[in-house]
Amino acid sequence: MELDKAIEKRRSIRKYSNKKINFNDVAEICNVARFAPCAANIYTVKIIIVEDKETKIKLANAALNQSFIADAPYVLIICNEISLLKKGYGGFAETYCKQQAGAAIQNMLLKITEKGLAGCWIGAFEEEEIKRILKIPDNIRVEALLPIAIPFPKLKIPEKRKPDLKNISFFNTWGKKYTEKRPMPAL
């Protein structure tokens, strides 16, 4: 699948088939996270792959009872080791780590889409409970949960409604719209 098509086709899917997925696909999804940009080429993102059913149920409960998480054959827990950047970047370390995690997650979501699988970026959860369940050390930050599955058969996925580019971009300064002299290209 071409990159533009994967970007346009990507959706947050929360209804899953009960079919298993190939672990090699999960490994490929995790692998693309490594290619996300990172400050000073110091990779801070860590991924926990969860397949145990009881653990997935606990994770779903810790994610504010988002029960669909437990239906996925695999759930990725994306974490950050901020201390790796603290020495060189001080107060900017946390921001850079969040940016790196976001870029890694987007790479994974696009790979999920390319493979015809379903996924959903989960950011609402009780971090301390996730850490307790998975024995994550205190110095590690949990950034997101990412269930991976085969979409429910015959699931009708609605078209994404996205704003026009001209409504979210400005020219040279905040609020300055494109003009006749410099029109927004038709995309």
pLDDT, tens digit (0-9, with 9 covering 90-100), for 91-126: 899 999 999 999 999 999 999 999 999 999 999 999
Query: Tokens in use for 37?
Result: 């940009």
Helices first, then strands: H and E counts in the chain: 7, 4
* 182, part of any domain: no
DSSP symbol at 167: G
pLDDT (0 to 100) of residue 176: 80
Does 169 fall in a domain? no
d(CA 42, CA 46): 12
Q: Answer whether residue 137 is part of any domain.
A: yes
Predicted confidence (pLDDT) at residue 183 exceeds the cutoff of 80: no
Give the domain extent around 146.
3-155
Model confidence, pTM? 0.88
In a domain, 175, yes or no: no
pLDDT at position 167? 78
Number of domains in the chain: 1
Question: In this structure, what CATH number is given to the domain that contains residue 109?
Answer: 3.40.109.10
| All residues at 6 or more sequence positions from 48 whose CB lies less than 8 Å from its CB, including other chains | 76, 77, 79, 134, 136
Encode pLDDT of 24-79 as tens digits.
999 999 999 999 999 989 999 999 999 999 999 999 999 999 999 999 999 999 99
Strand spans (E) along the chain = 45-50, 74-80, 118-119, 141-149
